[in-house]
Chain A
Amino acid sequence: AQSVTQLDSQVPVFEEAPVELRCNYSSSVSVYLFWYVQYPNQGLQLLLKYLSGSTLVKGINGFEAEFNKSQTSFHLRKPSVHISDTAEYFCAVSAYSGGGADGLTFGKGTHLIIQP
């Protein structure tokens, strides 16, 4: 089984400042890693994903994340945030079972609040 820990339930940041949302995971097997964004009463939109290869992954809307296997982390970063980035962010993992992917295991989410 896998688990995901998002240490910060809420992160307030001033507009145009950098931000890092933390994510740590636990798994006994290899995993794929994802970051999703959710706006109120909407589904999830994929920001980026790590499957293999380069540990620095670039996503949409200027976000990037770095996979650190030794620290079992996949922190999300953005160098300069905008008001429109205010949303809930979820880190998720999926076990690579060889024959196909399992459902996603999500962290509890981090509410990013951008202050003007």
Chain B
Amino acid sequence: GAVVSQHPSRVICKSGTSVKIECRSLDFQATTMFWYRQFPKQSLMLMATSNEGSKATYEQGVEKDKFLINHASLTLSTLTVTSAHPEDSSFYICSARDGQGVYGYTFGSGTRLTVV
């Protein structure tokens, strides 16, 4: 079946530094990737949608200059949290729309970001 690999699974960074999270579709071409954020014991909130070769579309309230998304190929999308602050600490999960088009969203295993 469709598999999405997300790295790293955990990262701790100092306040003010930047962190890059990678999301790779291993056995299918992901024309669209989604990035979600999940606070402890809460639901997932869609941050942005990225289509391969295009600029990402950000949800209302999400700072595009802080959360940089690059989807340069059909198998790789990256989320860079720039100038991270403690309030950016969260669980970030990517999702890729698989080769079946609208019929499936495959999720990565998530990245636990802790900013100290």
Contact = CB atoms under 8 A, between A and B. Distances in A.
Nearest to A4: B43
Contacts of A32: 102
A11 interface: no
Interface residues of B, number: 26
Contact of B102 (A41, A46, A101): A101
Chain B binding surface SS class = strand
B34 interface: yes
Interface residues of A, number: 24
Interface stretch (A18-26, A72-80, A102-110): A102-110
A90 interface: yes
Interface of B: 4, 6, 32, 34, 36, 42-46, 49, 91, 93, 95, 97, 101-110, 112
